[in-house]
């Protein structure tokens, strides 16, 4: 593979792993729990028929409620206007799962008027039947709002309007491939699309939502192309070397052809059109970088052992020329380019109407941003600087809440209104003293007259204590509604589940402080016991599974040596030598006590010895 394409592969890998893994630890834990619960429910899916079936010709159409998940439904067959009428009557938030968009029209979708409705287009990510896709990140890629799905289907219809019904399946496949490669750009940096992080983690461009931006990464190209083939009735498989690259395998006349629209979109011909270089003609397709990981003694060992491998054929020159000659005029006549150029010029609020962002999730995000200003950013700053001086019971009570809010608000830096909340000069004085303690040259006119570090630190800690207690008391008084939100979140939203879970943990952790604050002891004890009973009942999990996932996750986090070093040097307040880094980065007790103080190994079913072995690469 030439140098250019190698750079694309590397960039695609960077897109997958762009986020700081440690900053998302709370989200990863929540996603693991949610995936586990959903996997247990899959075997029960489709048992309860919610709506009587509608007939369309010989094909039956049904809306089926999933077991124990009152607001998750499956749609079998194409979505009809009758279904839309039923959906519009509903007043609750609901998600409707479709296998694909075959038979679905933009006209039907335009009739959806209900609020809080989302669709999950599984496509190649069959999370109900393929274990590796039973993961919240993969499932998020399938999520679409009605308006966004309507736009995506309208794009498919625009492409389909150029298809000659007399073409054979190979020609239809080539035509759609050429259109997609011509119309979409490869996304080299996630910030180029979804700049507001509406979906988060670059997920928009890893599914059909990327069509709105006209930008996709390999996962989005493969996902979108398979959906185009689903609509044409052409068998097409979604190939995914997990965490590395995605591609497709076409199945035509009992033969399998490896195709990779990503590379043909990024490496076009001299006229800036798709040259089909990566369409079914590479006899070494599976040996290409991205489709496999490495080889030993001529035996190719695949990066993802769970990925299906087909016995591939290749198109002969005559077969390719014959098929292409029939579609070339149609391809050359069509205008191409990003279909919705106006989308990126919209405001964030306008774009949110097209992307799968629910009202409840928006409120959780808004509240998290506020809490970051209220106490989370200050808590993090004081703890990192080793100047946190609040009641240890408060520290323990808010650990989970801090992790959740930090993840939701994306507060990697101190900010989000913290200065206004705690006093601009107070925070300015504090930072001055911290910088001075690190040996930096500080202009003493920087400080308020007569102020001392002890006074500033005590003042901020007292304000922080008051802010946290306000949050604890507010959560306690709203415990019943938080429990209801937790039940809703379990069935419908990992964000809502994580939000309510972290609040409930805060209440239980502050039980003694609530009693000392004057709340009736019997009432507090009873309420906390009810919360604990609820959480423990929902958290009964297989210990071996927790441990395995804990090892996998923490191994991934601490393989990122650059991030680990950055965190250690932040805590130490100075650069460290390579030798010192090796010593500190493999010292489990040091990391737990000084750097990652909110890391609870029990959540991963791991011991301190396990953690030590992970750090040393022995586990």
pLDDT at position 611: 87
- The pLDDT value recorded for residue 468 is 93
Q: Across residues 158-178, what is the average pLDDT?
A: 96
> How much is the mean pLDDT over the chain?
78
Which ranges of 23-118 does DSSP label H, i.e. alpha helix? 25-42, 81-89, 106-109
Is the confidence at residue 190, as pLDDT, over 60?
no
Residue 301: phi and psi, rounded to 5, are: -110, 120
- Please report the pLDDT score of residue 396 as a whole number: 86
Give the 3-state secondary structure of residue 63. strand
Tens digit of each residue's pLDDT (9 = 90 or more) over 282-293? 888 887 756 664
Contacts of 503 by beta carbon, 8 Å cutoff, 6+ apart = 401, 475, 482
pLDDT, one tens digit per residue, over 56-73 is: 333 346 666 554 455 788
Whether residue 314 has pLDDT greater than 50: yes
**Pairing status of strand 215-216 against strand 255-259:** unpaired
Residues 498, 495: Cα–Cα separation, whole Å: 5
Tell me: the pLDDT tens digits for 540-580? 444 555 566 567 667 766 777 777 888 888 888 888 998 89
What is the model's pLDDT at position 4? 37
User: Which position has the higher pLDDT, 415 or 21?
Assistant: 415
Q: Whole-angstrom Cα distance, residue 267 to residue 278?
A: 10
Q: Using CB atoms within 10 Å of the CB of residue 475, give its burial: 0 to 12 exposed, 13 to 18 middle, 19+ buried.
A: buried
pLDDT exceeds 70 at position 135: yes
Given pLDDT bands bounded at 50, 70 and 90, which one contains residue 194?
A: low
User: Residues for the chain: how many in total?
Assistant: 619
Residue 359: per-residue pLDDT = 57
Residue 411: phi and psi, rounded to 5, are -85, 70
pLDDT of 148 over the 90 cut:
yes
DSSP codes, 193-237: SSTT-SSSTT-GGGSTTHHHHTEE-HHHHHHHHHHHHHHHT-EEE
Q: What is the pLDDT of residue 231?
A: 95
Give me the pLDDT at residue 595, please.
84
Is the overall model pTM greater than 0.75, yes or no? Answer: no
Least confident span in 51-65, 182-196, 402-416: 51-65
Looking up tokens 């007790």 gives: 589
């Amino acid at each position: 593979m030439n140098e250019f394409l190698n750079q694309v592969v590397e960039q695609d890998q960077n897109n997958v792993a762009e986020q700081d893994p440690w900053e998302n630890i709370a989200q990863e834990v929540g996603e693991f729990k949610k995936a586990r619960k959903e996997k247990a429910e899959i075997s029960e899916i489709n048992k309860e028929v919610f709506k009587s079936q509608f007939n369309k010709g010989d094909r039956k159409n049904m809306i089926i409620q999933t077991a124990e998940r009152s607001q998750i439904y499956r749609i079998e067959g194409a979505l009809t206007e009758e279904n839309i009428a039923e959906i519009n009557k509903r007043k609750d938030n609901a998600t409707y799962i479709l296998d694909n968009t075959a038979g679905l029209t933009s006209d039907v979708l335009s009739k959806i008027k209900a609020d809080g409705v989302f669709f999950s287009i599984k496509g190649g990510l069959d999370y109900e039947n393929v274990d590796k896709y039973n993961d919240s990140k993969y499932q998020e890629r399938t999520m679409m709002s009605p308006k966004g799905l309507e736009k995506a289907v309208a794009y498919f219809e625009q492409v389909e309007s150029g298809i000659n019904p007399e073409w054979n399946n190979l020609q239809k496949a080539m035509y759609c491939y050429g259109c997609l490669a011509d119309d979409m750009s490869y996304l080299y940096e996630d910030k180029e699309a979804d700049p507001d992080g509406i979906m988060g983690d670059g997920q928009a461009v890893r599914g059909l939502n990327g069509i709105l931006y006209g930008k996709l990464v390999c996962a989005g190209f493969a996902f979108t192309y398979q959906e185009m083939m689903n609509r044409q009735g052409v068998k097409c498989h979604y190939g995914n070397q997990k965490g590395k690259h995605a591609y497709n395998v076409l199945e035509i006349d009992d033969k399998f052809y490896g195709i990779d629209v990503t590379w043909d979109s990024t490496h076009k011909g001299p006229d800036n059109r798709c040259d089909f270089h990566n369409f079914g003609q590479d006899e070494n397709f599976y040996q290409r970088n991205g489709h496999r990981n490495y080889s030993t003694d001529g035996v190719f060992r695949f990066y993802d052992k769970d990925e299906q491998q087909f016995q591939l054929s290749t198109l002969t020159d005559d077969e390719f020329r014959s098929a292409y000659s029939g579609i070339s005029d149609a391809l050359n006549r069509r205008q191409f380019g990003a279909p919705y150029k106006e989308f990126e010029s919209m405001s964030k609020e306008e774009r949110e109407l097209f992307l799968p962002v629910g009202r409840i999730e928006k409120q959780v995000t808004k509240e998290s941003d506020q809490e970051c200003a209220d106490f989370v950013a200050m808590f993090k700053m004081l703890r990192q600087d080793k100047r946190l001086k609040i009641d240890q019971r408060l520290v323990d009570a808010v650990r989970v809440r801090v992790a959740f809010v930090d993840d939701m608000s994306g507060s990697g830096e101190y900010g989000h209104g913290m200065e206004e909340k705690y006093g601009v000069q107070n925070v300015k004085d504090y930072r001055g003293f911290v910088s001075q303690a690190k040996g930096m040259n500080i202009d003493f006119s920087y400080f308020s007259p007569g102020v001392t570090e002890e006074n500033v630190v005590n003042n901020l800690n007292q304000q922080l204590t008051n802010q946290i207690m306000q949050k604890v008391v507010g959560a306690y008084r709203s415990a019943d509604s938080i429990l209801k939100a937790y039940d809703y979140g379990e069935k419908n939203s990992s964000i809502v589940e994580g939000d309510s879970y972290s609040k409930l943990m805060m209440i239980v952790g502050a039980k003694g402080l609530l009693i000392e604050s004057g709340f009736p002891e019997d009432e507090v004890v009873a309420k906390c016991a009810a919360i604990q009973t609820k959480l423990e009942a929902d958290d009964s999990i297989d210990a071996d599974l927790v441990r395995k996932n804990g090892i996998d996750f923490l191994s991934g986090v601490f393989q990122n040596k650059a991030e680990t070093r950055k965190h250690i040097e932040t805590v130490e307040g100075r650069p460290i030598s390579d030798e010192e880094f090796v010593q500190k980065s493999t010292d489990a007790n040091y990391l737990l006590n000084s750097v990652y103080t909110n890391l609870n190994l029990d959540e991963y079913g791991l011991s301190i010895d396990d953690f030590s072995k992970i750090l040393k690469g022995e586990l």
